[in-house]
């Protein structure tokens, strides 16, 4: 099949002096696009790089003039803008009648609004930490919540804005770090009770009866010295900071509960083809939904989904093939 590639590259953007250093953390590296293109070729497909925004539209038009018919698109585009940015490319592709991998614009939009996602999960009986959302400095409060609290941007991905300072033990720390997040990131701040138990990330591929869990990976700090945060600093130094365990050294009951939460989230949010769900246990060992990513990173070296797939015995090509095959099975026949 002829498959277009949509994406945002870090090499195409430049930080301004006012930008936080993680402003474009979600964007892909050239290494990721090279690896994806190579994997698709090895699977018998013909990839075409489309990019994002106006260049994407120009490439689509140019291919059409050359008589090249896109069978579909492998979408990785994060977009630029507000909480609906991940929906930009899928919405345009829907308008153009071009099928694509992954979830639809509504699911992608919900995933970036962490407050709305938690409300929907809770309405379906899925455990999630008590929380509130603050849009202004005056709303930065622990009212109704118990310290310690975890504070992060409510509409960012890739651990943007999540640092050691995200764990707040009193009102002063909450106000200081919350104010910093409101100043440096677009959108409100999510304030939730800190979950002190084991942390997992679960990879899922497929649709309907063909949906399956790739693996449930536990993230364990190498130097457990207090409350652990899988922060941006830790992720950037993951080889030294954490161990990834699959299957996790936990009892069968907990593993089953983690899988159940992940599959419930996948279905409630109507994810398609692939997603990664983050889960953390509370002080009683009960798995809680943290957030879900229907547009997970696929860097061949350091992306969590790829790491857990590799631990589960999947090659990079097998992972990409599972995503593409799942999408092709639901794409309309032309």
What is the rounded CA–CA span in Å between residue 131 and residue 177?
16
How would you label 150-185 residue by residue, b for 16+ Cβ within 10 Å and e otherwise? bbbbbbbbbbbbbbeebbbeeeebbbebbebbbebb
pLDDT score at 23: 86
Hey, what's the torsion of the CAs at 138, 20, 9, 3, to 10 degrees?
-20
Say if residue 176's pLDDT is above 90. yes
In the prediction, which pLDDT does 157 show? 85
Residue 118 lies in a domain: no
Cβ burial of 6 (10 Å; 0-12, 13-18, 19+) is: buried
Closest CA to 79 of 46, 112, 48, 102: 112
Provide the CATH number for the domain around residue 150.
3.30.1490.20
Burial (0-12, 13-18, 19+ Cβ within 10 Å), 207 = middle
Please check whether residues 94 and 12 belong to one and the same domain. yes
Dmax of the chain from CA atoms? 63
DSSP-assigned states of every residue in 146-165 = -SSEEEEETT--TTTT-SGG
What is the C-alpha R_g of the chain? Answer: 20
* Boundary residue ending a domain (101, 121, 147): 101
Query: How many other C-beta atoms are found inside a 10 Å radius of the C-beta of residue 52?
Result: 22
Residues 188, 211 within the same domain: no
From 138, 159, 193, give the residue that closes a domain: 193
In a domain, 120, yes or no: no
> Is residue 81 domain-shared with residue 145, that is, in the same domain?
no
125 — phi, psi (to 5°)?
80, 15
Burial class (CB in 10 A: 0-12, 13-18, 19+), 120: middle
- What pTM was estimated for this model as a whole? 0.95
Pairing of strands 46-51, 2-6: parallel
- Residue 252: predicted pLDDT: 87
| pLDDT per residue as tens digits for the range 100-137 | 999 999 999 999 999 999 999 999 999 999 999 999 99
Q: Which bin fits 67, alpha (ψ -120 to 50), beta or left (φ > 0)?
A: left
CATH number at residue 234: 3.30.470.20
Q: Is residue 117 in some structural domain? A: no
**285 and 314 fall within a common domain:** yes
> Could you tell me if 318 and 273 lie in one domain?
yes
Considering only 144-148, 211-215, 230-234, which range has the smallest mean pLDDT? 230-234
Does residue 266 belong to any structural domain of this protein?
A: yes
Residue 249 has pLDDT above 80, yes or no: no
Q: Is residue 36 part of a domain?
A: yes
Confidence of residue 68 (pLDDT cuts 50, 70, 90): very high
- For 182, the enclosing helix (H) or strand (E) is helix 171-184
36 & 86 share domain? yes
> What average pLDDT does the segment 187-193 reach?
96
The larger pLDDT score, comparing residue 246 to residue 140, is at 140
Distance of alpha carbon 304 from alpha carbon 217, whole angstroms: 9
Tell me: do 73 and 135 sit in the same domain: no
Q: Tell me the per-residue pLDDT of 265-302, one tens digit each, with 9 for 90 and over.
A: 999 999 999 999 999 999 999 999 999 999 999 999 99
Is residue 108 in some structural domain?
no
Q: Is the pLDDT of residue 20 over 80?
A: yes
The more confidently predicted of residues 251 and 52 is 52
- Which domain does 182 fall in, by range? 130-193
- Sheet of 46-51: strands edge to edge? 46-51, 2-6, 72-75
């Amino acid at each position: 099949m002829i498959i277009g590639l949509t994406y945002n590259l870090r090499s195409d953007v430049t930080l301004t002096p006012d930008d936080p250093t993680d402003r474009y953390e979600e964007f892909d590296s050239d290494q990721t696009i090279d690896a994806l293109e190579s994997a698709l070729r090895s699977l018998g497909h013909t990839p075409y790089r489309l990019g994002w925004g106006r260049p994407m539209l120009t490439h689509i038009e140019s291919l059409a003039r050359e008589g090249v018919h896109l069978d579909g698109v492998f979408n990785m585009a994060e977009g630029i803008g507000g909480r609906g940015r991940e929906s930009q490319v899928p919405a345009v592709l829907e308008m153009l009648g071009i099928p694509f991998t992954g979830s639809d614009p509504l699911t992608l939009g919900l995933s970036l609004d962490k407050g709305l996602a938690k409300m929907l999960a809770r309405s379906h009986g899925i455990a999630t930490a008590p929380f509130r959302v603050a849009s202004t400095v005056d709303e930065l409060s622990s009212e109704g919540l118990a310290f310690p609290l975890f504070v992060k941007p409510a509409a960012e991905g890739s651990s943007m804005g999540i640092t050691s300072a995200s764990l707040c033990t009193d009102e002063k720390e909450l106000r200081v770090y919350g104010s910093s997040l409101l100043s440096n990131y677009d959108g409100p701040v999510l304030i939730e009770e800190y979950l002190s138990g084991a942390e997992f990330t679960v990879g899922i591929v497929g649709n309907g009866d063909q949906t399956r869990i790739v693996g449930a990976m536990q993230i364990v700090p190498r130097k457990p010295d207090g409350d652990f945060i899988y922060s941006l600093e830790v992720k950037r130094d993951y080889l030294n900071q954490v161990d990834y365990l699959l299957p996790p050294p936990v009892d069968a009951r907990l593993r089953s509960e983690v899988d159940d939460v992940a599959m419930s989230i996948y279905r409630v949010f109507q994810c398609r083809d692939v997603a990664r769900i983050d889960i953390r246990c509370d002080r009683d060992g009960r798995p809680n939904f943290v957030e879900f990513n229907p547009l997970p990173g696929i860097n061949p070296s350091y992306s969590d989904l790829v790491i857990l797939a590799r631990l589960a015995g999947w090659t990079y090509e097998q992972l990409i093939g599972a995503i593409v095959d799942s999408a092709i099975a639901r794409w309309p026949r032309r």
